[in-house]
Structure 1
Amino acid sequence: RNADTALTDHDTGAFGSTGTVVAGKATLAAAQDLARQLVAFAAEVTGAEGAECVLVGGAVVCSGRRVTLAELAAAAAERGVELAAEGRWGGTPRSVAFNVHGFRVAVHRGTGELQILQSVQAADAGAVVNPRQCRGQVEGGIAQALGAALWENVRIDDGGAVTTDILRQYHIPTFADVPRSEVYFADTSDLLGPLGAKSMSESPFNPVTPALANALKAATGIRFTETPFTRDRIYLALKEAGLALPGHSAPRAAATAAGT
């Protein structure tokens, strides 16, 4: 049949920290239901009590007799028994991920240039189901957050028109702009998530700008409260505080600091 929302249950979609947990819990529920059916059917086939049957390694063992899943499937086909299951998960309750970020930066007092010397993020995703994919999620979130913190700025003129409506005027980070980040996963397991996992989603984005602002504060003594942290904004703040040096004669890393 054609796709129709009237034919299916509500689906939250894979967004807002729902992908791993919601789909995973639904899959887990279906698998657990099917496992119960297999054990019950194996007991029926072998004449054993259900309490004497256990699903182990691609087979059900009943009172010492091992019946493979292939044998159970064949027996089900002969008897007209359908071994199938569905699983549902509404999205609640579920846990949230936690992330912390740290930067070591240098600020050029003659130009206002901010250079990221080191970037580190630690993430609590519970039991990481797919480490490579989860690491990519974290690195992507860091890149997006750096864009918001350092370059992206929607400008609107007096008539209400957006003047930064093309990428030539609205800078998003390229590979050359994004520093290499160290990513570490906490060794945890979540009681609510499938296999102990938690969703990661947008969480890596959240601590980046505050950490960068704290690093800037530690390096310059100035609290920057408006993004993006452009070099002209940094230089003007340094100048107002009497910390700027004229021209380009200042050492490149005139002030260095870390922030989390």
Structure 2
Amino acid sequence: SAWLCAAASCTLDDEAVVSGVRRMSFAEMAKLARERGQPFAASGNSEGTPRSVGFNVQGFRVAVNKGTGEIKILRSVQAADAGIVANPMQCRGQVEGGVAQAIGAALYEEMVIDATGRVTNPKFRDYHLPSFADVPRTEVFFAETSDTIGPLGAKSMSESPYNPVTAALGNAIADATGIRFTAPPFKPDRLFPALHEKFGN
């Protein structure tokens, strides 16, 4: 049986619409709408909930071989605003791991897809993941802040140390060469043509 009520008097609760003491599940509503040939649609909004926002700043010093396009990272510095850092060793490891993973995306990793949509390098021997030797020592500095929402004043680091790395490497390469490369990964074969055009042999 159907019941009518003003939308303003309805609330959503556990996959059902509730108005006063009356309750109808979404499944029942969908079935009723189908039987009557009426569209089953809704609109709404969410203000969201307050949340902590971590910040990271990454800097690199690089050397670029103008004859080959090879990049060597000379220095890696990461500043992180993680609020009150409850476990500095673990958080430092999270930051270092994020930088290592992002260096892979920025300098090496490239999924090659042919015209039919097939991945042509589906094996790791053809897909360069960074090894220990590819990852520079990363200096990590924590900002002295405290968060009003996070537990004990802490903020989440999760993926945030990953985010600034490619842009920072792109900036460092531009500073070193005077050429702005915008499409990672910044592999030697991608850099070489522009370097050769600018610097010759």
Matches within 5 A, 1:2-41: none
Equivalent-residue separation in structure 2 for 1:137 and 1:229 (angstroms): 24
**Equivalent in the alignment of 2:34:** none
The structure whose Rg is larger is: 1
Scaled by the length of structure 2, the TM-score of the pair is 0.74
The percentage of counterpart residues that share the same residue type is: 68
Equivalent-residue separation in structure 2 for 1:164 and 1:137 (angstroms): 29
Equivalent-residue separation in structure 2 for 1:179 and 1:92 (angstroms): 38
Choose from 189, 201, 205 the match for 2:146: 189
Matches within 5 A, 1:140-159: 140-159=97-116
Deviations 1:25-62 (A, max 9, x none): xxxxxxxxxxxxxxxxxxxxxxxxxxxxxxxxxxxxxx
> Which amino acid in the other structure matches residue 228 of structure 1?
P
Deviations 1:149-204 (A, max 9, x none): 00100101122110111100111101011111101100111111111100000000
Name structure 1 gaps, 5 residues minimum: 1-8, 10-90, 247-260
**Equivalent in the alignment of 1:165:** 122
Query: Once superposed, which parts of structure 1, at least 4 consecutive aligned residues long, lie more than 2 Å away?
Result: none
Equivalent-residue separation in structure 2 for 1:138 and 1:145 (angstroms): 11
Name structure 2 gaps, 5 residues minimum: 1-13, 15-47
Residues paired across the two proteins, number = 155
Equivalent-residue separation in structure 2 for 1:190 and 1:182 (angstroms): 23
Superposition RMSD in Å: 1.4
**Equivalent in the alignment of 2:134:** 177
Matches within 5 A, 1:116-155: 116-155=73-112
Scaled by the length of structure 1, the TM-score of the pair is 0.58
Equivalent pair of 2:102/2:162 in contact (CA under 8 Å)? yes
**Equivalent in the alignment of 2:194:** 237
